Structure 1
Amino acid sequence: MTSNRNRLWDDVLLILTMAVLAGCGLIYEYLLSHYAGRVLGIMESTIYAMIGLMIVAMGLGAFAARKIQCAFNGFVWLELMIAFLGSSSILIIGGLIAITQTFPDILGSMFNLPPDAYPRGGLFKQLSFIAFNSPYFFGLILGFFIGMEIPLIARIREEIHQKHLKNNLGTIYGADYIGAGIGAAIWVIFLLSIDISKASALTAALNLTAGIVFILYYWQKLTWRKTLITAHGILLVMIMAIYQFGNGWLSQMSNLLYLDKVVYSDKTRFQQLTFTKRNMGPEEGSIINFYLNGRLQFSSSDEFIYHSYLVSPVLAGSARHDNILIIGGGDGLALRDVLQWQPKKVTLVDLDAQLIELFKNPHEKLPLRLANAIEDLNAVSLRDERVEIIAADAFIAIDQLLQSHQTFDAIIVDLPDPSHPDLNKLYSVNFYARLKQLLAGDGLIGIQSASPYHAKDAFIAIGKTVQAAGYSTVQQYHDNVPSFGEWGWTIASKMGAAPLTRLKRLPQLPVAHHWLTLPMVTNAFEFSRDFYQDSETVPINYLGSHAIYQLHQKAWQDQQGLNNAHLQ
């Protein structure tokens, strides 16, 4: 009876352990996939590749588990290795990328080389390639070790029962599947919203706990017990340090990749926010740059160029300016320009409530000088009483606006580039068609449309997609924004005269701008003779097709704003 009771407790321990470790294994897949997507920039394909690679590695690990002679010793050492790799791999990856990207600059400065002569090719290029692809290496190794867990626990159960168990694998796989499901839920509900270093440390702590429990429970079956205890103690200290300081270390390594000094960095539920500052001297002052997930969103030196082209043509060509809709633009810069046209109401829809709050009340979180600079830039537009802010997914929020039968005199779409699959739907026929229902008959819609030079096909695809949504006339225009290079916008009318025709009828811009003039606007509609020559081959972005996302990713493999701008 006592023997049966002990075996029951053994079974409970082993099955519970398997469930917990399965959850940890799935979380490691998500952690590495998520981070690899940020590093390599091609989020969707990187995540799928990483998960697929780790699953294959788990299969190889399952085959290799037969080589371990003592299942008890092997399991404890295995959990030690998984805990070490799981907690430290992201920091190691970040360190490798930081070192390979900054080392040429260090050598160049050491030997007083001009910037264009810094050693970035040959060996340094290969080292950079290896560093940026190191997430796959760690995914392969970690997956290999995780794959050993099920065979070892199956062997331990049979050794305890001293016989072949008929449904041994079924029991263990059942615990594995349930545990993986719980792990996925924990990732989505909790871990996805905290720092990635803390998430990895918490997950690794469970692997370490499993090893410690095995040491205590199966003490007599183990060899090298003192060594195992010491190793677990050392790793426990390391995991605690990573939990406490890992995010700071990771931020410092990431900050090395920016061209200017990082003065503030934070993570919202949806994205990484980074402000950098470049001191230009006592007379010129400082330049503030703002990044989302490593991609430059605006520079204080020339953001007025981008926003004047985004706002002025749309409002100048619309019959009225009483009720304006802005999609995106949570920084308040487009809103600042819109408010100069004296609207009665502006509705701003942006996904990230934390980002909006940061730009609305910068003194609550930002350093004093940075907060003052932000208020000078957006003219505290987000605090204007005429502005209604809706913090929601625009794809869903516009349905609520349609249900309330709202109509807007002009619509301005100021969204980030379609650099992530989640953004692709906001560049689709479906989205633009629903915005058309919100637009007044004599109004215009203006859309930021990426670069007609660096991402030509994506730029043309946006115009074709707007046309497919049923607008009467769709036109595009462009100009140079120094921080971004050649940039483009799309403008469309619901009915009546074409946007450019309306603008040419004006003697001047109805609301004067300190930089932009009406001739500059009308001239911006001119493209080279053969610019649209191959437009027939460019696809329209229907919902679910991911056409614009894929075109944009193909064009922008090298991101802007970083020394080697692969980091996203």
Structure 2
Amino acid sequence: MGAETEESIFINKVQRRTLLLAAAVSSGTGLAVELLLGNLASYLMGNQALAYGIAIGGFLAAMGIGSYLSRFIAPKEQGRALQREMLTAFIKIELLIAPLTALLPMALFALFVADSAVIWQALFVVTILLGILAGLEVPILARLLEIVDGVRDAISGVLALDYLGGLLGSLAFPLLLLPFLSMFPTAFVLGAFPALMVFAIGQCFPSMRRWGYAGLILGIVLLISAPASIPLGNKLENNLYNAPIIKRVQSTYQRIVLTRQGKDLRLFLDGDLQFSTVDEYRYHEALVHPAMSAVPKRKKVLVLGAGDGMAVREVLKWQGVERVVLIELDPTIVKLATRYPQLAKVNANSLKDPRVQVINADAFVQAPKLPDIFDVIIADFPDPDHDSLAKLYSDGFYRRLMGRLAENGVLVTQASSSFFTPKVISCITATIAHTGLMVHPYVADVPSFGPWGFVLASRNNIDTTKLKLEIPTRYLTTPLLQHIFELPKDIEFGNTEINRLTHPVIVRYQSQESRIRNIP
């Protein structure tokens, strides 16, 4: 009996390393798929903080449940029987995780198309299921290794590889998997990892060889199926838009979709409408020309965001513009704007103008570092619906921009829907005023968006009744330019807090209101 026990507890170096590798693969795969689920829910629903909160927080909590449940696996077995039961249990868990990892993200997407009202509940259920299964893995591996390593060394070894795998998975997802494979193929590739890990275990443990071949077959099937998930995912995504999709790209930062219905070309970033060619000129004229008409000279202009080139197109209409610096975070947007013929036509190839310098960087970091002093600064960022965007509407950022603004210069920013999110334009106005700048909020009518808010700011007061247009336009006239500063009565100012880096209240204001989520 003693001889049998001694034989059963022997695990050679290759087997030990394979089990430790399994810990890293399990952790990396688990964390990557939760990031994928958070990214998917954020894309579909728009609330990034809640999406990742459910995905990551729920996953960690469920791992605790799984860890507790692992005590009921082979509680009385010892020696050879314990090793066999632990290995078999781990393999079964991996073979279950593999297809769930591949299929559940697409199932969530399909559920959203069918009934978006239950997406948060579904995300929670999926997260809990995967978290419980992932929570079983580490205790099982630790119990296998403690037979030969002892409790201390087994736990430290498994946890070290588990944490390392988590780091690799969390970096690989945004930097490699999502940009190069897109969402659903990434899910299938992630699903193949635990299946192929079963094959590796089967090769190292002869008694598990048949399970290993099952893992190999499953892994190959998932990898082969990854390309097939693209057209299926595209078909599901088509249901989110009323117009045919003519271009879709997954960049490192966001999902980019172009739709076209007749002459109406529309750009969406993570499901949010950025412009429609039917009326984009209204938005961009309202964004650019009040600021350009309010300064005595406009030699140097800084444009933040607006990588589609539309705002730059309007800037270049003015005489005397010598230099335009555009800071856009996502280089994919700039590539589309310059290389995609239909977009380049709309923006009049503005980004190829020799006066324009494009910098692909985070405007929050890069703009204050620029050596130039600018006559006009134009901020055209997405709506502040999560913390990473809220910083671009903070008092700290506006103070930093003041260092790049000429003494008689003007700053303008888009300020979301004045009707659906009145607290947002109020918050932006109050925040900029808090920096000491004079503020002039105004509203323009853009049919695709509804009434849309903007805030003009300067060190010196601007007499908006004397602004004049000196360039050809399609929407604005000089009388209308002066009239847009007359605000409707239902926009109340002074009832909002200052948006700070340490307290991004603007995210709450954006989410509290009936937020426009244009997916036509």
**TM-score past 0.5 threshold:** yes
What's 1:356 paired with? Answer: 334
Alignment of structure 1 residues 49-64 onto 2, 5 Å: 49-64=54-69
Counterpart among 516, 523, 547 of residue 476 in structure 2: 516
What's 1:493 paired with? Answer: 458
- The answer on 1:398 being equivalent to 2:375 is no
Counterpart among 298, 310, 316 of residue 321 in structure 1: 298
Aligned-partner residue type, residue 351 of structure 2: L
Counterpart among 206, 215, 219 of residue 202 in structure 2: 215
What's 1:293 paired with? Answer: 270
What's 1:119 paired with? Answer: none
Structure 1 residue runs of 5 or longer lacking an equivalent are: 101-126, 280-285, 363-370, 563-568
What's 1:124 paired with? Answer: none
Counterpart among 495, 500, 504 of residue 537 in structure 1: 495
Map Cα deviations across residues 180-217 of structure 1 (whole Å, 9 max, x no partner).
33433434543353323333333322211221233343
What's 1:180 paired with? Answer: 166
Map Cα deviations across residues 120-176 of structure 1 (whole Å, 9 max, x no partner).
xxxxxxx43224542222111111111111222233335x65x97565434433332
Would the alpha carbon gap of residues 36 and 386 (structure 1) be closer, same or farther in structure 2, given more than 3 Å must change? same
Would the alpha carbon gap of residues 322 and 229 (structure 1) be closer, same or farther in structure 2, given more than 3 Å must change? closer
Aligned-partner residue type, residue 172 of structure 2: I
What's 2:82 paired with? Answer: none
Provide the rounded CA distance (Å) in 1 between the counterparts of 2:95 and 2:72: 18
What's 1:448 paired with? Answer: 414
What's 1:40 paired with? Answer: 45
What's 2:78 paired with? Answer: none
Please state how far the C-alpha of 1:272 moved relative to its aligned partner.
1.4
What's 1:92 paired with? Answer: 107
Please state how far the C-alpha of 1:27 moved relative to its aligned partner.
2.0
Aligned-partner residue type, residue 473 of structure 2: H
Whether the 8 Å CA contact 2:101–2:191 is kept in 1: the answer is yes
Provide the rounded CA distance (Å) in 1 between the counterparts of 2:465 and 2:501: 35
Aligned-partner residue type, residue 312 of structure 1: H
Whether the 8 Å CA contact 1:439–1:494 is kept in 2: the answer is no
SS at 1:265 equivalent: strand
Please state how far the C-alpha of 1:298 moved relative to its aligned partner.
0.4
Aligned length: 503
What's 1:388 paired with? Answer: 357
- The answer on 1:276 being equivalent to 2:266 is no
What's 1:196 paired with? Answer: 183
- The answer on 1:377 being equivalent to 2:377 is no
Please state how far the C-alpha of 1:231 moved relative to its aligned partner.
4.7
- The answer on 1:25 being equivalent to 2:30 is yes
Map Cα deviations across residues 460-486 of structure 1 (whole Å, 9 max, x no partner).
101111111221x20111122110011
Alignment of structure 1 residues 121-132 onto 2, 5 Å: 127-131=115-119
Please state how far the C-alpha of 1:288 moved relative to its aligned partner.
0.6
Provide the rounded CA distance (Å) in 2 between the counterparts of 1:40 and 1:153: 37
Provide the rounded CA distance (Å) in 2 between the counterparts of 1:384 and 1:558: 34
What's 1:264 paired with? Answer: 247
SS at 1:190 equivalent: helix
Provide the rounded CA distance (Å) in 2 between the counterparts of 1:176 and 1:463: 47
Whether the 8 Å CA contact 1:97–1:132 is kept in 2: the answer is no
Please state how far the C-alpha of 1:558 moved relative to its aligned partner.
5.6
User: Identical aligned pairs, as a percentage?
Assistant: 29
Please identify, of 537-546 and 231-240, the stretch whose mean Cα deviation from structure 2 is larger: 231-240
Whether the 8 Å CA contact 2:266–2:276 is kept in 1: the answer is yes
What's 2:96 paired with? Answer: 81
Please state how far the C-alpha of 1:40 moved relative to its aligned partner.
2.7
Provide the rounded CA distance (Å) in 1 between the counterparts of 2:296 and 2:228: 56
Would the alpha carbon gap of residues 352 and 77 (structure 1) be closer, same or farther in structure 2, given more than 3 Å must change? same
Please state how far the C-alpha of 1:45 moved relative to its aligned partner.
2.7
Would the alpha carbon gap of residues 546 and 242 (structure 1) be closer, same or farther in structure 2, given more than 3 Å must change? farther
Map Cα deviations across residues 424-463 of structure 1 (whole Å, 9 max, x no partner).
1111112212222222222322211111111110111011
Aligned-partner residue type, residue 409 of structure 2: G
What's 1:368 paired with? Answer: none
- The answer on 1:72 being equivalent to 2:87 is yes
SS at 1:537 equivalent: coil
Whether the 8 Å CA contact 2:175–2:252 is kept in 1: the answer is no
Provide the rounded CA distance (Å) in 2 between the counterparts of 1:164 and 1:509: 80
Map Cα deviations across residues 21-70 of structure 1 (whole Å, 9 max, x no partner).
22222222322222222223110232122211111111111222233343
Whether the 8 Å CA contact 1:351–1:391 is kept in 2: the answer is yes
Alignment of structure 1 residues 87-126 onto 2, 5 Å: 87-98=102-113, 100=114
Say which structure, 1 or 2, has more relative contact order (CA 8 Å, 6+ apart): 1
Provide the rounded CA distance (Å) in 2 between the counterparts of 1:189 and 1:274: 20
Please identify, of 12-21 and 460-469, the stretch whose mean Cα deviation from structure 2 is larger: 12-21
Provide the rounded CA distance (Å) in 2 between the counterparts of 1:77 and 1:277: 47
Please state how far the C-alpha of 1:514 moved relative to its aligned partner.
3.1
SS at 1:379 equivalent: coil
User: TM-score if structure 2 supplies the norm length?
Assistant: 0.90
What's 1:157 paired with? Answer: 145
Structure 2 residue runs of 5 or longer lacking an equivalent are: 75-84
User: TM-score if structure 1 supplies the norm length?
Assistant: 0.83
SS at 2:345 equivalent: helix
Provide the rounded CA distance (Å) in 2 between the counterparts of 1:391 and 1:179: 30
Please identify, of 22-31 and 203-212, the stretch whose mean Cα deviation from structure 2 is larger: 22-31
SS at 1:266 equivalent: strand
Aligned-partner residue type, residue 481 of structure 2: V
What's 1:142 paired with? Answer: 130
Would the alpha carbon gap of residues 411 and 186 (structure 1) be closer, same or farther in structure 2, given more than 3 Å must change? closer
Would the alpha carbon gap of residues 531 and 10 (structure 1) be closer, same or farther in structure 2, given more than 3 Å must change? closer
Would the alpha carbon gap of residues 244 and 41 (structure 1) be closer, same or farther in structure 2, given more than 3 Å must change? same
Counterpart among 200, 216, 222 of residue 239 in structure 1: 222
